[in-house]
Amino acid sequence: MRVVLLGPPGAGKGTQAKELVARYEIAQLSTGDMLRAAVAAGTPIGLKAKDIMARGELVPDDVVVAIVGDRIEQPDARRGFILDGFPRTVPQAEALDAMLDEIGKPLDVVLLLQVSDEVSLERLLGRRAAEGRSDDAPEAIENRLRLYHELTEPVVERYRANGTLVGVDGEQPVEDVAREIEDALAQVGAPQA
Ligand code: ADP
């Protein structure tokens, strides 16, 4: 099963992705986690991404596309994967299409976690207090929400147009969101692990 999870920052993509990984035995491909690991390890990509991420801006498309391209070819992603945080721009979505075309494995479904800007803001400020993520500072959050509307919503519309998009109310409690996602996946015929 190959799934993309879309939604604004703070929508709960990471939380739901982890549930799906456990339930369906597929790989979680989180560009945010991969980039944070690169920053922590001080790799060339990490050095390039650090300040961009702290400001709440987007890492260049070619950088994230290369990361995902490598990751998607790893053995654990062969059974399927959940992409969380990618694609975030139309060029990223086009690059993903090309990669999946090449291996002859289209996406099964694109899940959109729907959350208002107010709830997103509230959750990210809460997370800042709890985890201290540098991009959860108010100015960075503002950038992330603005870029989501400007650059990622066109990606949502692209998947809506090709019929792969399923919307889920992300403002419900975690278990209810998980249940709705499970139902959506059952509808597209996803086999449970
Ligand atoms: P959130 O979904 O809460 O914004 P993520 O962990 O997905 O958090 O991403 C954190 C940051 O990592 C983003 O603000 C951005 O700087 C960078 N990033 C993650 N994924 C991408 C991507 N696909 N394209 C560009 N930048 C990305």
Q: Does the active-site annotation cover 146?
A: no
Q: How far apart are the first and last CA of the chain?
A: 11
Reported as a single tens digit per residue, the pLDDT across 102-117 is 999 999 999 999 999 9
* Residue ranges of domains in the chain: 2-187
Give the model's pLDDT for residue 192. Answer: 60
CATH number of 2-187: 3.40.50.300
* pLDDT for the residue numbered 193: 52
- Distance in Å, CA 106 to ligand 1 centroid: 23
CA distance 138 to 144: 10
Judge whether 113 and 7 are in contact, CB under 8 Å.
yes
* 177 CA distance to ligand 1 middle (Å): 22
pLDDT, tens digit, 9 for 90 and up, residues 155-166: 999 999 999 999
Low-confidence ranges of the chain (pLDDT < 70): 191-193
Per-residue model confidence (pLDDT) at position 188: 84
Q: Which atom of ligand 1 is nearest to the CA of 124?
A: 3
Query: If we measure between CA atoms, which residue out of 91, 102, 92, 104 comes closest to residue 67?
Result: 92
pLDDT of res. 191: 65
Is 88 an active-site residue?
yes
Report H helices in the chain: 13-24, 31-41, 44-54, 61-72, 90-103, 117-131, 138-147, 153-161, 174-187
Atom of ligand 1 nearest to the CA of 86: 23
Residues with CB under 6 A from ligand 1: 9-10, 13, 31-32, 35, 52-53, 56-59, 64, 85-86, 88, 92, 135, 144
Backbone angles phi, psi at 115, to 5 degrees: -145, 135
13 is catalytic: yes
Token pair of 116, please?
């208002």
What confidence score (pLDDT) does residue 74 get?
Answer: 93
